[in-house]
Structure 1
């Protein structure tokens, strides 16, 4: 948590420090990020930064908490309006998440980097802090959907869907570049079409039924 000194700063200054920190951690990740660059770009001294936050870890988790909460609040507003059919709901939810990425690319990159499994000490801390909370959005997403159509255990099926969505989004986003003149509607449609095709494979299964000879 930040110190009271940080919380008592003017809103404009707090927002600038937060914005610069998001950009730094998104671009370089935790390991390669630099508090020297943060203070330089924020226009503050290093001594001031460490009056606001005890150390780099504390700053990182404050930023990650803020961004994660922003995403959760944004998506939570829409969950009650999603389709009731299981796979339609997954596609629509993913489209909402994609739209959030378009509007907040650095925030999305920060989250994606933070929650990508690795052997680093910081990932272990992220996992310890967000382990259960990080799964909750997926279970909330499916809480009122009829999952009786699933062949297998509900929790295991949700885990598979979660892993699929995480991997699909990472792969898709790594192959696109959002630039000033990019047609976002075309990219969104490409995303939905590709996601729908892959969801259909999940829905139908990978193995075809054996034909009688």
Structure 2
């Protein structure tokens, strides 16, 4: 990768990154035309290849950057400073929805990348996912006190239920192409209040 990419203005770099996320999110790796990424970014294909040697290098950079920027947003919203599972979920969802204001197609891209099977990139994707798995909280790392929850509740299943429901919400919103951050936060709070009634012991 050419270091001159990082000498571009942030606005131009974000434009190129977002063009890559959108095109790769809508197509498989093999069927994603680099020419369309360049056109959407407002640069020539040859200039794009000046910054990235080939499509594979661009793709893997975008995947690595997605993990890094997600961690940055989660850290900025202090998700890792909380122990309350519901506050963690709220902060995490708020962080992600605000991240998508700047990178609208990042969630669709990462989801498609997760299931990408093209031999040219599959091994690198698997390695990157393995290295970045620790970026996010998961049920095994959370300090959940069973005494706070209803008797007999499977805490891992509870966490997975909340996690996949929230990711599904984000997925549906990215598909629409319009992200209303204020509405999303209101919806998240309603979801979390519902989960509290569903899972916590009621005094």
The alignment's TM-score, normalised by the length of structure 1, stands at: 0.66
Return the alpha-carbon distance in structure 2 between the equivalents of residues 72 and 32 of structure 1: 29
Q: Which runs of 5+ in 2 are unaligned?
A: none
* Aligned residues between the structures: 192
Structure 1 pair 75/159, CA: closer, same or farther in 2 (3 Å)? farther
Root-mean-square deviation (CA), in Å? 3.8
The alignment's TM-score, normalised by the length of structure 2, stands at: 0.68
Structure 1 pair 166/57, CA: closer, same or farther in 2 (3 Å)? farther
2:16 aligns with 17
Structure 1 pair 123/149, CA: closer, same or farther in 2 (3 Å)? farther
Q: Matched residue of 2:53: which SS? A: coil
Which residue of 173, 189, 194 maps to 2:186? 189
Structure 1 pair 174/21, CA: closer, same or farther in 2 (3 Å)? closer
1:210 aligns with none
- Note the C-alpha offset of 1:63: 1.8
- Note the C-alpha offset of 1:35: 0.5
Q: Which runs of 5+ in 1 are unaligned?
A: 205-213
Structure 1 pair 100/195, CA: closer, same or farther in 2 (3 Å)? farther
- Note the C-alpha offset of 1:94: 2.8
The answer (yes or no) to whether the contact 1:91–1:196 under 8 Å persists in 2 is: no
1:169 aligns with 166
Pairing of 1:3-152 with structure 2 (within 5 A): 3-4=2-3, 6-7=5-6, 10-11=8-9, 14-79=13-78, 83-115=82-114, 117=115, 119-121=117-119, 122-138=121-137, 146-149=143-146
Pair member with larger Rg: 1
